[in-house]
Structure 1
Amino acid sequence: MQVTYKEAGVDVEAAERLIEKAKDMIASTFGPLVLNPIGGFASVLAIPSGLEEPVLVTSTDGVGTKLKIALISGRHKTVGIDLVAMCANDILTFGARPYFFLDYFACSRLKEDVYRDVIEGICEGCRRAGCALVGGETAEMPGFYGEGEYDLAGFIIGFVEKRRLVDGSKVKAGDLVLGLPSSGLHSNGFSLARKVLLDMRGLSLEDRLEGSEESLLETLLRPTRIYVDLVLGLASEVPIHGMAHVTGGGLPGNVKRVIPKGLAADIELHVEDIPSVFKAISSLGPVSMEEMLKTFNMGVGFVLIVDERDGQSVLKRLKEAGERVFLMGSIRPQWGKKVRITLVGGEEARTYEFD
């Protein structure tokens, strides 16, 4: 008796049917720079016009173990948004506007509802970031992933005018450090969050954390915020010296990446501004505040470094846009460690220093 690929666990025809059903949704993200339809061996893309010296900026990222929460709950749309957000915010730190996105979806066995929800989320993320979903790979890998499991990776392409590239080289002593609020955990630190909240403390996804008005599931699956429109709008009006996307490594691990040699960041973080989910993880673990700062965004998802003379103008513009913003500190000559974070208020008030 002959064996088929389908009997081995890979249904090529089913995958083709799913992609066919998703074509209109994917094409809805296209703009005039996408030059060929869905289904080719590659994507044919035009370079944006109006740029004198276009610089291409790329990044790749994933969603990490936040996917475990999606699997447990059966809710998969928001992780698609997360996937785009993680990539788009990374290239935004160079002042780049996202234009094109590609995804990698790998699973044990394709399930139509899961695939549809994930792709719908990716398309929504692309709309929020202003880019087109131009291609991807859908891989059934039986025996490689557990039943029902899948993984995601995203790849993004953006452009910026060379003279407007933000690379941290202009950061200097006296510059101000501003923080834009996160929407919650975003897509980092979920292994620690799950261990404390679900494994150690046995909370259910229907429970509410102290100080929260929503279920734990809603808190954990809230999608990563996409800062593209807000930050690029600001950058068109005010010079920005440096930017950091606060992901794995927290504030100290990411802010230091854009600070030149010989300089350091002095940051204040007010305890009252730290979202309840982080306070819950810290107290229920318990997890030390130093570990929390190195692992989570602690309520700050994106950091801007601007000239001291532009500080009030930036604060005014952001507040006029309805945006909450934290004036967190400043850049100074380095005489010790690279990042110093002082917690203000509460029992944990003290200073932490990080290389």
Structure 2
Amino acid sequence: MNTYKSAGVDKEEGYKTVEKIKTAVAETHNKNVLNNLGSFGAFYEIGGYKNPVLVSGTDGVGTKLKVALDSKKYDSIGIDCFAMCANDIVCHGAKPLFFLDYLACGKLDSEIAAEVVMGMVKACKDNECALIGGETAEMPGMYNPGDYDVAGFCVGIVEKEQIIDGSKIRKGDKIIALPSSGFHSNGFSLVRKIFPDFNEEFEGKPIHETLLIPTKLYYQDIKKLMSNIEIHGIAHITGGGLIENVPRIIPNGLCAKIEESKIKVPSIMLELEKRGNIDRMEMHGTFNMGVGMVVIVAAENSQKALESVDGAYEIGEIVQDSEKIILM
């Protein structure tokens, strides 16, 4: 007799996954979450805003997953998934409200799935965000056993008059770099080509430990900045690096003039550049190069911004030019 399990889908393993995560997931909930894990839809009540605007973002982890799966280290991937979504909405001054995840695989292992979700739980707690739902899809024939894909969806909120969209950027504004924690979750197809052995030693430890450092979460830093000064623009430096992401917030007629020599490039990126014989501009067009987020503020607020966030440093200023960005 044929069963769903004989076709490759083990429902019991899915139930085990829910049991392993439900208590931890509930710890991310607040009074605005109106239902528990397992409902068809997730309910989140909004209150306390005068003119609220919802800001949403969705993303995945990309081929960084390959490093995690081959290294059998799954705890950081959930953090990466959340961060890639939440860091985008934080760019507009929004507070993350809730997050949903999607996990697809060839054959579900509840231990691995739970470990991935526990990373999301940790990230949600750090960002005062509720993990209110998700989907685990076991798809034999689409994925091989041992293969996983992870994606997420985050919704935040901001008062309409407080939206940060770059429209306030002016000539003379200063460009502040918030350091990254490494490659974050971008460019890993090239990373894996140059570093095919994830167990090789780098700076005294297996290189996969460096490659799998989770994407930095910026909500708390931006929240602190917003409480102290007015922010004119924020850019999340993901795929495309500074070259593609900074121009997205620069008004026409203005240009982000960045001094490349001021950028503090992590040693792992310098090693990749050297070993792969990669041109520096190609590096800047692919990786964050140590700058996870760019914040643009008025010149008179620059020092206060630097004092507000650990590790923040100035890399340039806004000038008049037909180009949106210049790395010099």
TM-score, normalising length: structure 2: 0.97
Q: Deviations over 1:178-236 (max 9, x none)?
A: 000001111101110110121xxxx442411xxx3543111100000001011112112
The AA in structure 2 aligned to 1:142 is P
Give the structure 1 partner of residue 173 of structure 2: 175
SS in 1 for 2:199: coil
Q: How does 1:256-335 map to 2 (within 5 A)?
A: 256-270=247-261, 273-318=264-309, 323-335=310-322
Give the AA of the match of 1:97. K
Change in 2 beyond 3 A, CA 1:213/1:177: farther
Partner of 1:222: 213
CA RMSD of aligned residues (A): 1.3
Q: Deviations over 1:294-314 (max 9, x none)?
A: 000000001000111211222
Per-residue CA deviation, residues 123-182 of structure 1 (Å, 9 max, x unaligned), is 111111210110001000001012200101100010011111101111111111100000
The separation in 2 between residues aligned to 1:70 and 1:253, in whole angstroms, is: 27
* Letter aligned with residue 237 of structure 1: N
In the alignment, the residues of structure 2 paired with residue 134 and residue 149 of structure 1 have an alpha-carbon distance, to the nearest angstrom, of: 25
Which residue of the partner structure matches residue 32 of structure 2?
A: 33
Provide the secondary structure at the position in 2 that maps to 1:138: strand
Kept in 1, the 8 Å contact 2:224–2:308? The answer is: no
**Contact 2:234–2:294 under 8 Å retained in 1:** yes
What is the 5 A alignment of 1:195-210?
195-198=193-196, 203-208=197-202
Task: After TM superposition, list the pairs within 5 Å mapping 1:243-254 onto structure 2.
Answer: 243-254=234-245
Q: 1:66 aligns with which of 60, 64, 72?
A: 64
Residue matched to 1:162: 160
Residue identity matched to 1:35: L
TM-superposition CA deviations, 1:255-298 (whole Å, max 9, x none)? 01000111111001337721111101110011111110000000
Q: For the residues of structure 2 that align with 1:314 and 1:282, how far apart are their CA atoms? A: 31
Structure 2 counterpart of 1:152: 150
- 2:236 is matched by which residue type in structure 1? H
Q: CA deviation at 1:325?
A: 1.2
| Cα distance between partner residues in 2 of 1:312 and 1:110 | 50
Shift of 1:338: 2.2
Question: Is the CA contact (8 Å cut-off) linking 2:174 and 2:316 kept in structure 1?
Answer: yes
How many residues are matched? 328
Checking the alignment, whether the CA contact within 8 Å between 2:263 and 2:290 is kept in structure 1 is no
Distance in 2 (alpha carbons) for counterparts of 1:317 and 1:228: 13
Q: Secondary structure at the match of 2:7?
A: coil
Cα distance between partner residues in 1 of 2:262 and 2:195: 21
For 1:279 and 1:303, locate their aligned partners in 2 and report how far apart those are by CA, in whole Å: 21
CA separation in 1, counterparts of 2:292 and 2:158? 22
Match of 1:349 in 2: none
Q: 2:76 corresponds to which letter in structure 1?
A: T
- TM normalised by structure 1 equals 0.90
Letter in 1 for 2:326: R
